[in-house]
Chains A and B, each alone.
Chain A
Amino acid sequence: MLEAYITGVGAFLPGDPIPSERIEDHIGRIGGKPSLLGRRALGWNGVATRHYALDAQGRAQHSNAGMCAEAVRAALDDAGLGREDLSFLAAATTQGDYLVPGHAAAVHGELGGEPLEIASFQSVCGASLMAAKSAFQAVRTGEHAVAVAAASEFSSRWFRPSFYEGTALLDAKGRLRAEADFLRFTLSDGAGAIIMEPRPRPHGVSLKVHFIDAVSMAGSFEPCMWAGATVEDRGATWGHVGPAAAHAAGAVALLQDFELLKRVIRAWVGVYLKKVDEGRIVPAEIDHLLCHYSARSLRDELLQLLEKTAGMIPEEKWFSNLPTVGNIGSASIWVMLEAFLKSSRLKAGERVLCVVPESGRAFVGFMLLEAL
């Protein structure tokens, strides 16, 4: 097997940073009224600004695939490469522009150019590392000399009032269920990409990829963040009743189960501690931690357990751009990596651990990098 190195990183954030008090101009007000839960959600999340691909009138300024293609171009440019050098595209998203076909086809369509090998990954935040694993293997086996793993999200268009109005998700007073409303103030838009090659780039920082581990515990847990079924009956998916009836029942909007989330968080920590126990992750050898999390309040819950079990990576080693960009789902980890590299904190020989938990259905991924 060959080695694989990250030789370029790119990010695309649509529009200007939007401060918390203007969020509802972009995602809209359900029934014309501001959300009460929204203000509390923003407090828990600890996010000051974020980006939307919708303008202040709620009109789309980009497509999901278009943002992804912008991030791919930026990553290629960062690596000193062009579109013609690329031979493999792995693209991730939570909800693509089309229901069918896959996201990678749409991104290739936006990029244009010669034929490519493509792979589409549809999940939630963890789709990023699923795509990265695919690019990693493509490079390591020698099948491709330049591979890109890209991820993008256009969550905000799913948060427009028309996704909720006239559905069972609103109560008699027109208030949206917490399972739906919380996410409207949690997720934002954007894209990120990494280039992988079998050797470091001639100049500048390259990151050797030691491993990417993607662990699903869906065999044990019900969906925790989903679209396509109601809160009450997660087993009956929307296709059985058709789109109009599913929409009316509240089965089309993006939803989250907070009670289940608490159990899923413990499952993530369990997987992490098992990796520590097996020696796959050695906390003392990690110089920087890039952990994707959607809310500061979630992070604080984990600290005590990690400290007691010698699994903690000291807080001064954590890097996050959550306060300025929010949670961009699958794109988050690459947008965070891009900001981290720009911050010039990284020195040659240092190790970076990326952790991407996904509440979708109890998934967590890890990627260990070493700076050259």
Chain B
Amino acid sequence: MSEVADVLRRLAVVFAEFEGRLEQTPLIRKLTRGRFTLEDYRAFLVGLRQQVKDGALWMSRAASNVDEAHLELRSHLMRHAVVEHRDFRLLEADYLGTGGELAEIQGAEKNIGSEALSAWMFHEASKANPFGLLGAMWIIEGLGSIKAAEWGRLAQSRLALPDTAVRFLLYHGENDVSHMAEFEEMLALVLPDAQVSARIVRTAQVTARLYALQIEEIAA
């Protein structure tokens, strides 16, 4: 069994358990049980914006801490950061699409979970060769490729939202289909290495827990 497959398997387990935890959060329960309101959706967008805005920033910081022996991984991280660093603008546009005011989403403060998640990401990204962050990317990219479109479709059908109000969630589902192949490539750049494997899985676990905390803390 290759070490890449071993790590992918452990990450798949972490993600499955993360999904189970998300199901239990008040916001997602409302969404899946048909009790989701427009206020809930707006609060959701506000909550997501903080993390999306920080995402490209911690990824850039992580890239700046990758050494010369791993230039290919550095390239991957930089490209990724470039692709995603304006995504929070799409969230703002969606917020306007729901009839919300730009000042509301731009002026909102991070919730407790977002504070913890953001602090953790920048802390990890500040370390030399922060390869554990591949585990964090697995969680966050998995949300994009698996959960975002699912949530977007549910929110749109429950609230009869126009397409211009759900672009962020739906766009992610469409764009992240190649995520597994690209992720495998990145893993192969830092594996085999038992310590790195363990750190990737651990970072995924912590990131999943803090992400779920962020969703738990979203309240309309």
- B9 is contacted by which of A221, A234, A309 (Cβ under 8 Å)? A309
B13 with A274: CB separation less than 8 A: yes
Interface string of B1-25 (1 = CB under 8 A from A): 1100110111011011101110110
How far apart are the CA atoms of A311 and B124 in the complex, in Å? 30
A305 with B32: CB separation less than 8 A: no
How far apart are the CA atoms of A222 and B20 in the complex, in Å? 10
With A270-B12, A310-B6: A221-B20 Cβ-Cβ less than 8 Å: yes
Which chain A residues numbered 210 to 226 have a C-beta less than 8 Å away from chain B?
217, 219-222
With A259-B32, A310-B5: A220-B12 Cβ-Cβ less than 8 Å: no
Interface string of B176-199 (1 = CB under 8 A from A): 000010001000000000000000
A232 near B: Cβ within 8 Å? yes
How far apart are the CA atoms of A269 and B23 in the complex, in Å? 16
A262 near B: Cβ within 8 Å? yes
Residues on A with beta carbons closer than 8 Å to the beta carbon of B15: 266, 270
CB closest residue in chain B, given A270: B16
B96 near A: Cβ within 8 Å? no
A277 near B: Cβ within 8 Å? yes
Residues on A with beta carbons closer than 8 Å to the beta carbon of B99: none
- A263 is contacted by which of B2, B5, B9, B23 (Cβ under 8 Å)? B23
With A270-B15, A277-B10, A310-B1: A232-B34 Cβ-Cβ less than 8 Å: yes
B84 near A: Cβ within 8 Å? no
Residues on B with beta carbons closer than 8 Å to the beta carbon of A308: 5, 8, 180, 184
Q: Which 10 A-B pairs have the closest CB atoms?
A: A270-B16, A220-B20, A310-B5, A309-B9, A310-B1, A274-B13, A309-B8, A273-B9, A273-B13, A220-B23
Chain B positions within 8 Å of A, measured between CB atoms, are 1-2, 5-6, 8-10, 12-13, 15-17, 19-21, 23-24, 29, 32-34, 146, 150, 154, 180, 184
Chain A positions within 8 Å of B, measured between CB atoms, are 217, 219-222, 232-235, 259-260, 262-263, 266-267, 269-271, 273-274, 276-277, 304-305, 308-311, 362
Given contact pairs A267-B20, A270-B20, A273-B9, enumerate 11 new A-B contacts (beta carbons under 8 Å). A219-B24, A222-B23, A233-B33, A259-B32, A266-B15, A266-B16, A269-B12, A308-B8, A310-B5, A310-B6, A311-B9
